[in-house]
Amino acid sequence: MGRTVVELFYDVISPYTWLGFEVLCRYQHIWNIDLRLRPGFLGGIMQQTGNKPPAMLPKRAEYMLKDITRMAKYYQVPITISADDFQRILRTSSLAAMRFITAIDMTQPQYLEPLSREFWIRFWSQHEDISQPENILTVAQQAGLSSELSQKTLEMISSPKVKDRLRETTDQAMKYGAFGMPAVVAHYNGEPHLFFGSDRLELLGSVIGEKWLGPAPS
């Protein structure tokens, strides 16, 4: 049998997406899958689908604080979160970061996984900004990109080619039915299967005929 193509549509502004990202990166070496990381723009999906950030509902925000903390421990992902983070998300645009990640995907895809991870670490572990050019360059160098490559990539984020690619990827996620992130699409038995959220990966395994070994398989 051929490998099952699994697409992960993601934005580094989302803590739940970081959980799913890390688990799928672990399972790409265990399951018979071809994992394709698809950087998109969560803000665009929310706007076009009429979705709202879950933390805008006070009781849900209260629950999310506990839920993300528990899931981070269970998934072994170093997210730290406080009530202040919800306002921090609303004040931060991930557009420049996701364009930078998109530009890397288009030119130096070998850096896509570590670069994406470093953006999450900076925003969700170190609680630092990811929206300004100087912060983006810092993240890039933490991910192993040279100063020259980082600067060259930063210059690409205003190009129509990069903007169009990010928009197309975001639109494709919505064509599959995405209304938020993470949006995981498994291409199995000739059709796409959409799974929303980082807590549906066990179900993903069941659908594609793979064994779930927990979020951090040894």
Instruction: Give the tens place of pLDDT for each residue, 105-135.
Output: 999 999 999 999 999 999 999 999 999 999 9
Q: Is residue 216 part of a domain?
A: no
The whole-number average pLDDT for the span 2-19 is 97
CATH at residue 98 = 3.40.30.10
pLDDT above 70 covers what percent of the chain?
100
Q: Is residue 97 part of a domain?
A: yes
For residue 132, count other CB atoms closer than 10 A to its CB.
11
Task: Provide the whole-model pTM.
Answer: 0.96
Question: Whole domain around residue 24: which residue ranges?
Answer: 4-208
Known active-site residue 218:
no
For residue 32, count other CB atoms closer than 10 A to its CB.
12
pLDDT for 87: 86
pLDDT in tens, 128-183: 999 999 999 999 999 999 999 999 999 999 999 999 999 999 999 999 999 999 99
pLDDT for 48: 95
Q: Where are the alpha helices (DSSP H) in 83-132?
A: 84-91, 95-107, 112-120
Q: Is residue 214 part of a domain?
A: no
Q: Is residue 74 part of a domain?
A: yes
For residue 101, count other CB atoms closer than 10 A to its CB.
29
pLDDT for 86: 86
Number of domains in the chain: 1
pLDDT in tens, 57-75: 889 889 999 999 999 999 9
Alpha-carbon span 80 to 85, nearest angstrom? 9
Residue 34 tokens, joined: 């071809």
Asked whether the CA dihedral 125, 131, 135, 138 is positive or negative, the reply is: positive
Q: Is residue 215 part of a domain?
A: no
Q: 38 phi and psi, to 5 degrees?
A: -125, 90
Name the active-site residue from 14, 116, 150, 198.
Answer: 14
The band of 55, judged by pLDDT with boundaries at 50, 70 and 90, is confident
3-class secondary-structure state, position 189: coil
What is the enclosing helix (H) or strand (E) of 47? helix 42-49
pLDDT at 203 over 70: yes
pLDDT at 1 over 70: no
